[in-house]
Amino acid sequence: MTSRPIKILGIPGSLRQQSYNRGLINAAQEVAPQGVEVTMYLLHDLPLYNADVEAEGDPAEVTRFKNAIAEADAILIATPQYNASVPGVLKNAIDWASRRPRTGGDSVLADKPVAIVGVTPGKSFTEPAQIDLRKILKFTKSRVMPEPQVKLGAAPDRYSENPELPDEETRQQIRAALDALVEFITVAEAKAAAAD
Amino acid sequence: MTSRPIKILGIPGSLRQQSYNRGLINAAQEVAPQGVEVTMYLLHDLPLYNADVEAEGDPAEVTRFKNAIAEADAILIATPQYNASVPGVLKNAIDWASRRPRTGGDSVLADKPVAIVGVTPGKSFTEPAQIDLRKILKFTKSRVMPEPQVKLGAAPDRYSENPELPDEETRQQIRAALDALVEFITVAEAKAAAAD
């Protein structure tokens, strides 16, 4: 481990200002352990994926998104569930990020450690969305952290005091996920170093 | 059956001009049986789904999309496969269309007959994408036609003569799907009439 901060890119899968899932990223920023820096990345400005556009060179916002992923030690995705799966907004962002550079080599998602969390008002606990997201991120060759799986229901209750920050219990679950993610990154780095 | 034309809304899940899947919709327009009208709807202008934007009223393009679905007797979706699932572009369009009117009632996707086709250069035949799409459209309470399942590989070979229109064999598979869809719509209408 170096002494530089561990950089985690937090991506809410919803664009709503008071999105419960954006609230999970707010929580991650608040409870991040010492030496861990959580930056929020909002997906509002990404265009729809279009290979004709890509062929003329990545739009500036796509470059910004890919760079943010490349520079992060890990990604924390907070996914809502829309129509029994991942929001189109989030999938579209992954579709852009999954593209390899024209100069060759892997995409910025390859080998990237990723933690997934999700909260919903409904009774699915975002389970179907998280299953699909794991499948998608397996295809992008990302390293998805297996445990803890943070799948939360009863969203309104968790935000009864503050619409943008969940209650203490939820924040502790996010903290536990961050602790596990730091461990997961460290193990991944040690393995990479050992393979050198 | 009335004598008015049967209206089918063809939606390619890719934005690329020479998309193989857009080519399947081109084919549907070419081989449509007598009395069947296939209109192509391109998803380029739909914004990313944002509940805050929706709360101020649907953007004009969202209204146009919902109206096009409402006015169609059925939808024909031609889906590519991106990262082992449905393209974000297509899922985003479904996320918008799945929303109920603020005045109450069902979404334009509820009870709507839908046929799914897909073609890919790879060896998946768009199977994983179509499985996810069926799951998503079950959630939106759409009536997805069970057979024939048009899952096609070897995309470049099918477009070797014309990059925007597939070969005769592929066109015949699309024609068979359209014939089945017309039958499927008719049965659905008869059931609805019998239930009146």
- Summarize pLDDT for B80-98 with one digit per residue, the tens: 999 999 999 999 999 999 9
For residue A14, the domain's CATH number is 3.40.50.360
Instruction: Lowest mean pLDDT of A12-16, A56-60, A131-135, B120-124, name the range.
Output: B120-124
* Record: contact B92-A92, CB cut-off 8 A: yes
Distance from CA of B86 to the nearest CA of A (A): 8
Residue of A nearest to B84 (CA): A136
Which residues does chain A have within 8 Å of residue B52's beta carbon, measured at their own beta carbons? 15-17
User: Whose CA is closest to B47, among B58, B36, B55?
Assistant: B58
Q: Decide if A155 is inside a domain.
A: yes
Q: What is the ipTM of this complex?
A: 0.96
Question: Hey, which bits of chain B come out as E strands?
Answer: 6-12, 36-40, 74-78, 113-119, 143-144, 150-152
Q: Mean of the pLDDT values across residues A159-170?
A: 98
| Residue A168 falls inside a structural domain | yes
What is the reported pLDDT for A194? Answer: 83
pLDDT of residue A45: 98
The distance of A147 to chain B (nearest Cα, Å) reads 22
The encoded tokens of residue B104 equal 């109450």
Q: Examine residue B39 and state whether it is found in any structural domain, yes or no.
A: yes
**Do residue B15 and residue A128 have CB atoms under 8 angstroms apart?**
no
pLDDT-derived band at A193, boundaries 50, 70, 90: confident
- Minimal-distance CA residue of chain B relative to A17: B52
- Pairing mode, strands B74-78 and B36-40: unpaired
Q: Is residue A1 part of a domain?
A: no
In the block, which residue shows the tokens 């009774």? Answer: A123
pLDDT band for B194, please (50, 70, 90 cuts): confident
Please, how many CA atoms are within 13 Å of residue B38, restricted to the half-sphere of its CB? 29
Q: Which domain holds residue A57?
A: 6-195
Which candidate from A14, A17, A88 shows the least CB-CB separation from B91? A88
Pairwise CB contact (< 8 Å): A92 & B93: no
What is the tally of structural domains in chain B? Answer: 1
